[in-house]
Amino acid sequence: MPGTTAVFGLRYQVAADSPEGDDLGKNLADDTEAALLAERQTAMCQLVQQTAQTGWTSGTSTAVTFGASSETVDTGTFHDTGSNTSRVVIGKKLGWWQVGGVYAPAANTASTYIRASIGFNGAVVAGSTGGILISGAAGFVAVPSGNILVQAVSATDYVELLGYQIAGSGTVGTGVSAPLIVSSLTAVWQRPS
């Protein structure tokens, strides 16, 4: 019985084995090809908000939720539309992830400032915040977060899009002006740690 490597499970001959000749070479080639193919399949999740979220508090960073029909791509069930709907659980594939998003606030002429940030396990990631002054804006606008690298080291690690809207009155939250101006969150796995 051949031995196997610890990380990729590549088969190799051990001293107690009878010589396998051609089979050993074929096993190595098949195992290597399978490992390379698995590595080439990019883990990614992209969410586009379908239903506006309101009732936020002015001047407070709030996680944007992504419910039914929000997943444009999710290669590894990183997002759940039924529970913790703001989260993309990147810990399901450990390593480095490129994460970015767009926050589309509720249309509100009393709004003066909006910003978007990426949250990691509930805290804002330094360098991920983008913002704009929108004093008197009546129509739909949006602001991108910074694109940031985040390292997943635990199976429960997650990222979120955090929106922030300052308004003296009126609706505070997200707006959906489908299909063009909506909040979105994208996470694409880059490489192992």
Domains of the chain: 3-40 (no CATH), 44-191 (2.60.120.40)
The kind and range of the H/E element at 98 are: strand 95-103
Q: Is 44 helix (H, G, I), strand (E, B) or coil?
A: strand
Give dist(CA 102, CA 66) in Å, integer: 13
Q: Which two tokens stand for residue 158?
A: 């997650």
| Helix H or strand E encompassing 26 | helix 22-40
pLDDT in tens, the chain (193 residues): 677 778 767 777 776 666 656 666 677 777 777 766 666 668 999 999 999 999 999 999 999 999 999 999 999 999 999 999 999 999 999 999 999 999 999 988 888 999 999 999 999 999 999 999 887 665 678 999 999 999 999 999 999 999 999 999 999 999 998 668 899 999 999 988 8
Residue 105: is the preceding peptide bond cis (ω within 30°)? no
Q: pTM for the whole thing? A: 0.81
Task: Specify the pLDDT at position 18.
Answer: 63
User: What pLDDT shows up at residue 183?
Assistant: 96
